[in-house]
Amino acid sequence: MTHFAVWAPERSDVRLRIAGRADDVPMVAGDGGWWRADLPGVLPGTDYGYLLDGAGEPLPDPRSAWQPHGVHGLSRVYDHAAFGWTDTAWTGRALAGSVLYELHVGTFTPEGTFDAAIGRLDHLVDLGVDMVELLPVNAFNGTHNWGYDGVCWYAPHDGYGGPDGLKRLVDACHARGIGVIIDAVYNHLGPSGAYAPRFAPYLAQGANTWGRSLNLDGPHSDEVRRYIVDSALSWLRDYHADGLRLDAVHALVDHRAVHVLEELAAEVDALAAHLGRPLTLIAESDLNDPRLVTPREAGGYGLQAQWNDDAHHALHALLTGERQGYYADFGSLECLATVLTGAFYHAGTWSSFRGRTHGRPVDRQRTPAHRFVAYLQNHDQIGNRATGDRISATLSPGLLRVGAVLLLASPFTPMLFMGEEWGATTPWQFFTSHPEPELATAVAEGRRREFAEHGWPAGDVPDPQDPLTLARSRLDWAELGKPAHRDMLDLYRRLIALRRARPDLTDPRLDRVEVTHGNRWLVMRRGSTAVAANLAPHPTRVPLRGDEILLSTAPGATAAGDLSAESAAVLAL
């Protein structure tokens, strides 16, 4: 028997259509608004859909594991148990001490598939990466997209290789000792192909940045929350993922006593205990609230980590000199020192961008720094710029190296964006492939209007629907053959190896980080290790207490603390 079940509490009739069968199968209403049917002889690979109240065409299953005909087509029966995993000895990867690597499957390789990504995993092994963080891989409308317009939260995008393709990639990562984190979007559904709300009240009346919010605390919300939790557990259990990055959790409107994030964390902890390997939940949040990563037994939500935009803003504004928008409060050495020793810059302090106080202080003695993921670049901070330019397009090689040293020697969990390790010159732009002309036009015009408000001419903003926008965003692996890019890659390799070799650099205790700074120079001390950086365009001398340079990006650096222009060094004290 193959069991079919769908939640449709407000429907009076639900029928199951099986491809190749003449008659639709009436489903039986059960407890909680669930409709069920058990059928013999329906094998994996069979297409099916649901008809609601006898009207219209069959709709895809909201919990579909496979959408080979796209998000508007029929679902396909898939057997998770049939895949031949080879990672039975895999014991997982803990977040503490790890280096993450964010990549987008569609632009990581020319082919843009899970299988093609496997061919580049040895590069990540050689680099020293511990875990890859995949931008969303669940099904979305069209052929290519960032992934944040997904509508099928259980089905890997078929254009990438579908469910078996994702499993092959995860299996290959584990064979090489690399963990896998999947970016999951539970704060909204995409604008095309979101059929779940046709079945049940998945959406609330309120709205967030992307449209209507999820129904997390209204009538029927128990099953909506279950829809989220079961999706998360499926990525971790059925696809053997090692963690999830939870997109924009500040947009999850939930007024219940137990927040959906706490509920999810408890379920994931239980699954980790059963599987015998660590599972990691990483939140993206605009709240600067350490309760997200405070353990549940201490009154927090119990997530393992959160992205730390303050760390990015502090580094980016200091290195580039940009001060527009949300960079207005950042850019000073005092700001970077505050972040390196306390994680957040806005911690119950005034935010001029928001026009109010923002954030909450981190307990430096009790909250380990590895719970904050830091980065020089990520998909948002590159792709949401008008032209998708990386910092390598504007910074000198020296300042790029300073940024790399400060990131990888920081107390946080560092994350690289694909290509950053060799100073890639390819942009990463905002691209879409909406087949609906009206939606395609609306997205392109909205993008132009957004940047016109900041002074960008419309002609300078790439059209998201133009295939060349996607093509420009693909990594150019041939750059690795050029000396300047090879040198940058060598620096990243050595920094990651140094981080692994020196316990000081993976020590997560924030209260053990000491920072001093002067006129365009900064020294960060971590135990018996010092990180010295000169951001000035001329040589300078910084006060040090050491006698051995372990790694220097400045050939002229000496134990006396002489650093050449725009350079950094790591020393043992």
Determine, yes or no, domain membership for 258.
yes
In a shared domain, residues 493 and 547: no
51-74 pLDDT, tens per residue?
A: 999 888 999 999 999 999 999 999
Distance, in Å, from the CA atom of 540 to the CA atom of 534, rounded to the nearest integer, reads 7
Mean of all residue pLDDT scores within the chain: 95
In this prediction, residue 555 has a pLDDT band, given cuts at 50, 70 and 90, of: low
DSSP letters, 192-244, are SS--HHHHS--EEEEEETTEEEE-SSSTTHHHHHHHHHHHHHHHHHTS--SEE
Contacts of 339 by beta carbon, 8 Å cutoff, 6+ apart: 308, 310, 311, 314, 345
461-479 pLDDT, tens per residue?
A: 999 999 999 999 999 999 9
Both tokens assigned to 362: 């981190």
Determine, yes or no, domain membership for 114.
yes
Determine, yes or no, domain membership for 431.
yes
In a shared domain, residues 178 and 326: yes
96-132 pLDDT, tens per residue?
A: 999 999 999 999 999 999 999 999 999 999 999 999 9
In this prediction, residue 431 has a pLDDT band, given cuts at 50, 70 and 90, of: very high
In a shared domain, residues 295 and 254: yes
Contacts of 222 by beta carbon, 8 Å cutoff, 6+ apart: none
The SS3 call for residue 264 is: helix
Q: Are strands 529-534 and 567-572 parallel, antiparallel or unpaired?
A: antiparallel
Q: What is the pLDDT of residue 211?
A: 83
Q: What is the pLDDT of residue 422?
A: 98
The SS3 call for residue 167 is: helix
248-273 pLDDT, tens per residue?
A: 999 999 999 999 999 999 999 999 99
CA angle 35, 47, 432 (to 5 degrees): 100
Q: What is the pLDDT of residue 547?
A: 59
In a shared domain, residues 277 and 146: yes
- Find the range with the poorest average confidence among 18-22, 286-290, 344-348, 416-420: 18-22
Catalytic residues: 247, 284
Determine, yes or no, domain membership for 464.
yes
DSSP 247: T
Of 501, 530, 552, the one marking the end of a domain is 501
Q: Which string of b and e fits 100-109 if b means at least 16 CB within 10 Å?
A: bbbbbbbbbb
pTM higher than the cut 0.85: yes
Both tokens assigned to 268: 């994931």
In a shared domain, residues 224 and 366: yes
Q: Average the pLDDT over 315-322 and give the result.
A: 97
- Find the range with the poorest average confidence among 150-159, 294-303, 489-498, 559-568: 559-568
Residue 556 has pLDDT above 60, yes or no: no
Which amino acid makes up residue 91? T
Distance, in Å, from the CA atom of 130 to the CA atom of 505, rounded to the nearest integer, reads 15
Residue 91 has pLDDT above 60, yes or no: yes
Q: Which string of b and e fits 332-361 if b means at least 16 CB within 10 Å?
A: ebebbbbbbbbbbbbbeeebeeeeeebbee
Domain that holds residue 193: 100-501
In a shared domain, residues 291 and 397: yes
> Higher pLDDT residue, 320 or 546?
320
Element (H, E) at 314: helix 309-320
Residue 81 has pLDDT above 80, yes or no: yes
In this prediction, residue 572 has a pLDDT band, given cuts at 50, 70 and 90, of: confident
Check which CATH number belongs to the domain holding 32 and give it.
2.60.40.10
In a shared domain, residues 144 and 254: yes
Of 501, 521, 548, the one marking the end of a domain is 501
Q: What is the pLDDT of residue 558?
A: 59
In a shared domain, residues 493 and 534: no
- What are the angstrom distances between the C-alpha of 59 and each of 54, 67, 97? 12, 11, 45
Of 469, 501, 533, the one marking the end of a domain is 501
Distance, in Å, from the CA atom of 169 to the CA atom of 180, rounded to the nearest integer, reads 9
Q: How far is CA 459 from its chain centroid?
A: 30
In a shared domain, residues 534 and 477: no
Percentage, residues of the chain above pLDDT 70: 97
The SS3 call for residue 354 is: coil
Check which CATH number belongs to the domain holding 410 and give it.
3.20.20.80
182-204 pLDDT, tens per residue?
A: 999 999 999 999 999 999 999 99
- What are the angstrom distances between the C-alpha of 295 and each of 288, 292, 307, 361, 371? 16, 8, 17, 16, 11
Q: What is the pLDDT of residue 419?
A: 98
496-505 pLDDT, tens per residue?
A: 999 999 999 9
Residue 549 has pLDDT above 60, yes or no: no
In a shared domain, residues 228 and 255: yes
Name which of 47, 45, 39 is nearest 2 in CA terms: 39
In a shared domain, residues 209 and 126: yes
Structural domains counted in the chain = 3
Determine, yes or no, domain membership for 87.
no
Q: Average the pLDDT over 207-223 and give the result.
A: 92
Determine, yes or no, domain membership for 82.
no
In a shared domain, residues 314 and 183: yes
Determine, yes or no, domain membership for 83.
no
Check which CATH number belongs to the domain holding 522 and give it.
2.60.40
Determine, yes or no, domain membership for 283.
yes
